[in-house]
Copies of this chain bind each other. A is one copy, B any other.
Amino acid sequence: MSGSTFGRVFRLTTYGESHGAGLGGVVDGCPAGIALTEAMIQAELDRRRPGQGGPAATARKEPDRVRLLSGVFEGRTTGTPVAFHVENTDQRSRDYGDIMHVYRPGHADVTYDAKYGRRDYRGGGRSSGRETLSRVAGGAVAQALLAECGITVNAFTVELGGVPARPEDPAGAQDRPFFAPEEDIVAQWDALVRNVKGRGDTVGGIVQVEAYGVPAGLGEPVFDRLDARLACALMSVGAVKGVEIGAGFAAARLTGSSNNDAMTARGYAGNNAGGILGGISSGQTVVARAAVKPIPSVAQEQHTVDDSGREVILRVGGRHDISAIPRIVPVLKAMTALTLADMLLMQRRMTAVRA
């Protein structure tokens, strides 16, 4: 494995498995002088904890206390690497022994074996959703940097199990179950999740990320465009199977005259572009959506094979979420923040001489 670093300038390198000693990461390239505390990172980690989404959440209790190991002195970054670690405390390896040789459908068991020839089968190992802890912590560092530049990132659920929400109050989403952008949808989604759970099944959904205050000029054509880097960032999260920017797939069904965002002296007349033109931020709100597949660990019997190729009937035990939503929402927010922090520093260096 060698893809554990994200970013070219503001770079997060992560490590850790679900049932190893712990998980963590190193942020290299964060400028000096940024206000950063353990509490700021912990706050983001807490958003990822079970309980944000009622029954959709797993019953596991994961304290997930982060420890800041380097790079901060007297409350501000020093310009040296910012390292953090979260100890694994609730491991319960016994829950997973029965799948040591069986490939769970929709999971990475089979491909990890194909790639590495061996795998840590305990709870998914590196391919477990717990891996995203390091992303959220790294994203908190990115958000600390962005905050000093007037950029904020938001993420909320716009659809769950096929039921869309009206994005009436995205600003309030961070404090609402499911990170819902409206109040009324919560009860409806809660009922939907209970119903699915009763059938031993799981659901997916769609998450929207938005970034406010992004200055025009971020993104490095032609391959490291802001939209390309953001697509990479969001698609790198386990359950994500699709990413779109602005009008996205709907733009493929519009004509040019209706899709173009006219420009006026007061600004853009629309935002079908999602705040990105030619791969470079335009100064509008950056808007992207990620399609989240249903969690593959259903409580029903499934046909699969073991690592000898023999067919078996599998019924996954253990405690599992009904949906990656809402726990994936802070992860996608973190990935958006990491992308913007990287692109921001890329751009600053480029303009330095010009100014």
Interface: A172 (CB within 8 A)? no
- Counting CB contacts under 8 A, is A96 at the interface? no
User: Which residues of chain B are near A240, meaning CB under 8 Å?
Assistant: 227
Assess whether B248 is in contact with A291, with CB atoms less than 8 Å apart: yes
* Complex contacts, A106 vs chain B, CB 8 Å: 256, 259-261, 273, 277
Given that A17-B70, A126-B78, A243-B235 are contacting pairs, would A257 and B300 also be in contact in the complex, using a CB cutoff of 8 Å?
Answer: yes
Contact-residue bracket for chain A: 35 or more
Complex CA distance for A33 and B230, rounded to whole angstroms: 28
Determine if B235 and A241 form an interchain contact, defined as CB atoms under 8 angstroms apart: no
**Which residues of chain B have C-beta atoms less than 8 A from A91's C-beta?**
none
Q: Does A296 contact B (CB under 8 A)?
A: yes
Distance (whole angstroms) from the CB of A179 to the closest CB of chain B: 15
Task: List the B side residues contacting A292 at CB < 8 Å.
Answer: 252
CB distance from A183 to the nearest CB of B (A): 22
**A304 lies within 8 A of chain B by Cβ:** yes
Knowing A9-B349, A22-B69, A32-B118 touch, does A294 contact B225 (C-beta < 8 A)?
A: no
Asked if A269 is at the interface (CB within 8 A of a chain B CB), the reply is yes
Task: For the complex, give the distance between the alpha carbons of A236 and B145 in Å.
Answer: 26
Are B11 and A2 neighbours in the complex by a CB distance under 8 Å? yes
Is A62 close to B, CB under 8 A? no
- Alpha-carbon gap, A242 to B110, bound state (A): 28
CB distance from A351 to the nearest CB of B (A): 7
- The answer to whether residues A246 and B241 also contact, given A222-B236, A236-B228, A262-B302 and a CB cut-off of 8 A, is yes
